[in-house]
Structure formats: C-alpha cells, structure tokens
A and B are shown apart, each in its own frame.
Chain A
Amino acid sequence: MKLKGRRITRGKAKGVALVSRRPLSFLGGIDPKTGIVTDVESDIKGESVKDKILVFPRGKGSTVGSYVIYQLKKNNVAPKAIVVEDAETIVATGAIIAEIPMVDKIDIKKIKNGQIIEVDADKGEVIIHEGEGI
C-alpha cells in the first residue's frame, strides 16, 4: 500500500515502524544519548527510536527539541526517517539540521507498529509492505 503525503526533507529509508498515537516532545521526551523515549505521556515510552521509522501525529513542547533531534543523529541513535500527520516547526527544523528524511500529511492510522515501511521523502510517499514485520 502506498500513502501519499508531502516532502519536508529529502532522502529515502526503509525500516521498522515505531508508531506513537500521541504528539511527541523531543526536549525532555527522548534521551539524546540513547534514543530511548522518556516522555511520561508517550505511548511508546521505553522504546528506542534508533534506526526506526518514527511515526507520530505531530511534535509538541519546546522548540529546542530540534536540537535534540540533531544530537540523536550525532550520537548514532536517530530514527532512519520521520513520518507525521502534520509537520510543525520543531520536528521539521530538527529533521532538516539532522538530515533525516521526513514526510508529512500521511494518514498514520494506516501504519501499524512493527511493520516494515519504506519512506521516499523525495516523492513524499510511504510504502507499507503488507505481511512483513517483526
């Protein structure tokens, strides 16, 4: 299945989807050293974003969260790609400076946690490989 959205940054990635149904705060919500989600309000608390395709509705919290995304990348614990419903300033800026492929305007309800998905940010697309997963 192919989901059509919009390109925020460039690039392509394929990996396991880590799906949060709630808005995600990066500052204070994800440990920049380990990539583990620590946001107590998050439904993916305790999971690692490292090498995942991180899927969530939108960012929230401090705009300094952009720098956390940058540090995740420098520490090699960043997600391979970011997929959201609505891009806003925090996550979009973070994805740009960290050079992580990112798309928005995706109906994330169609993506299941643990599915293998492919993000083609250049085309603004997410491809779900049915049946594949962990």
Chain B
Amino acid sequence: MYLTKEEELILAGEYGYALQKAMEILVALGEIYRADRLIPIKSAQIAGVSYKNIGDAGIEFLRDFVDAGAKVSVYTTLNPAGIGNEEFMEKQREVLELYKAMGIEVTSTCTPYYGANMPKFGDHLAWSESSAVSFANSIIGARTNREGGPSSLAAAIVGKTPNYGLHLEENRKATVIVEVQAKVKDFVDYSFLGYHLGKLLKNDVPYFKGLKPEKTDYLKELGASMAATGSIALYHVEGETPEYKTAITDKLEKIQVDDKELKEIKEKYNAGWDEIDAILIGCPHASIHEIKEVAELLKMRGKPLRVPLFITASRVVRYLADSLGYTEVIERYNGKIVVDACLIVSPIKSWYKGIATNSGKASFYFSSAGLKVRLDNTDRLIFEAP
C-alpha cells in the first residue's frame, strides 16, 4: 500500500504513540485487504461502547490510549451504551469519559443520521454500527466498510481509512437479485424479510425487486435485520435507493422470497403475552415518525399498558418528541423513551424473561441471549399487549 511522506512519519512514531498505533492498524488492514492507499474520511462512528461488550479489556486499552494523547481528527460519534446496575453504570460512565477525552461527541446512538452525524451521497466514512453502516451505504449512498470498534477508532484518530471493499465502485454492484413475491407491507414484514435474507445471503449485495416501502423506517429495519443475522452492509432497492441504476451487472443469480419463508420466522418468534415482561420499539433507535405512530396508537388503545413499553432513541429525536408532545402521551400509557442506550447491549437477561418487539434485529439478539421473543407489527403490539 502506498503511503504519503506524512503517513510514513506517523507510522515511524514521529507524532507519538497513539497516532502510530492507529496508523499501524490502518496499514495492516490495508495490506490484508489489498488497499492501494489511505483515503480521507468525512466522519467516524464507533462501536464498542457498552461496558457489557468491551469489558475491562476495552477500558484498559482506551485509558492507555487517552494517556498517550489519542485525539480524533474527524467528526466522530458513538454507538449506544448499556444499562445495568450501579457497578455497571460506573464502568459505563468511565468508558464514555474516555471516549470524550479523545474528542468524540458522546451522542450514543445507532442512528446518528437522524441528527448529529448525517453523511451525504458519496462520502467516505469509517462507521462500525452494522445497522448504521447499512443505512449509510444503502439509503444515503455514502461509502463505508463494516468497521470493527478498534478499526473505526483508528480511522477516527488518523482521519483516514484504507481504500478497499465498499469504498470501491466495483464492490458496490449487486451480487444477487431478490424477487420479493411475499406480501411485504408493514414494518414487521421488513423485519421478517431482513432476518430471512441475512441468514441466507451472509455478505452478498442484494438487489430487491418488488419492494415498495411506504417509509424509510422500513428500509432501515430491513438493513438492520440483514446486518444482524448476516453481514450484509449494502443493498439496493429498485426505484428506491440511490445507486440501484448502476448496481446491476450481467448474469446475476436470482432468488425468490415467498410468504412461506417469512411465516417460518413469524412462527419462531411467537412467545405468548404471558411470557413477555417488556415491549421494545426502537431497534435501531426510533425515528420521530415511529414515535409519533406509537403515541397515536396508544391514544387509540385508550388504556395504559400493563407490560412496560421502552422506546430507545437518540437524544435529538427524544427532544423533538418532548417538544411535539409525544413523550407526554407515551408516558401516560406506561411507556418510556430511553436515550443513549441499547437493550441488546445491556445485561437484560437478569431482568426479563421475554420481550415483544417489532425489530428483527432485536429478536435475533434477544433470542441468542436466551430470552423469549414475540415479533409483531407495532400496531398489534400496542393493541394486543396486556
């Protein structure tokens, strides 16, 4: 991989330990994945925030990095944190303080594109939250690989990323055509579809035919679910996403998805309400549209929920919900908007046995953690819950 004179100096340690280590990571990844050079990035988004995930090992590394003077050189935001007991929260605060000390905006969300970190078409990024990577690539048309926590941090510090994978035009072409014959209409249908295809396709670039999503939220959920059960980081939807016109090449394999396949997932996540301790909406973090919908559904329901409802969202969206009056409605019916946090990176199993959600991504992670799951559409969750 070609390095500029300045990059060589950084690698040689002329600018200190932290920049040197960050550069070593980028150069090694560039060599492994055969990048020709490093390219500047517009922003970084860093996973590895929850104490449940990064543990004492992560804290130790971050502390050493901060002590060595590590500072980010591009605009950088964080993934959501975990929620736990007092001891957990103390460690969690320490993690956030360390990231803050590096100059990172502590906007802890998996949907930075709803506010603090909104890329534009063609921007090169180093993002690591898998659903945000999918959103940025597919819906916005920005370019990012699916970074790991440490590699996105290295990119944030240097302000560059190796030029390989989804940064290159040729790797953004579709690798399989998906003809959707199943009835895919509501939010949860996109969860089912994404869940199914992530398992089936692993890391393909699917091109969807026959999808007419009413809302961008639906595509967000499709991408999040595919990125959770598989490692799909980019997809195209005919007539919808910005790069679909240039995505098709000759002789692509075609697959069909019909109702039967999606029904299997519905039946798999069909825990009874007697097994459910909480409802989660907002995986990935909810948009203001999703919050408005929940508030309206609760009003139609007319009586408070006995099972508590948690809506996870970014602060930007929460403040908007506050000022538009939705938060007040949601709280009146035993709901709560939780900011900066993610239930799937929290030690949730010590509190709950079963969760009801509209998210295919959340269903996958909750069931992997041993919880019972009910996966259904937002309106049915709100109307049918005890």
* A contacts, CB < 8 Å to B: 6, 8-9, 27, 32, 62-64, 66-68, 70-71, 74, 87-90, 92-94, 96-97, 104
Contacts and interface: CB of A to CB of B under 8 A. Distances in A.
Given A32-B56, A71-B56, A88 B149 contact: no
Contacts of B296: none
A63 B151 CA distance: 9
A67 B32 contact: no
B151 A93 contact: yes
A64 B54 contact: yes
Given A8-B28, A63-B128, 16 more contacts: A6-B31, A27-B53, A63-B48, A64-B53, A64-B58, A66-B148, A67-B48, A67-B60, A68-B55, A70-B57, A71-B57, A89-B151, A93-B25, A96-B24, A96-B28, A104-B32
Contacts of A27: 53, 55
Contacts of A70: 57, 60-61
B61 A97 contact: yes
Contact of B149 (A63, A87, A104): A63
Interface residues of B, number: 24
A67 B28 contact: no
Q: Majority SS of interface residues in chain A?
A: helix
B27 to A, nearest CB: 9
B150 interface: yes
A10 to B, nearest CB: 9
A126 B265 CA distance: 47
Interface string B53-70: 111111011000000000
A68 B53 CA distance: 11
B47 A32 contact: no
26 contacts: A6-B31, A27-B55, A62-B53, A63-B147, A63-B149, A64-B53, A64-B54, A64-B58, A64-B150, A66-B149, A67-B57, A67-B58, A68-B57, A70-B57, A71-B57, A89-B32, A89-B148, A89-B151, A92-B25, A92-B29, A93-B28, A93-B29, A93-B150, A93-B154, A94-B150, A96-B21
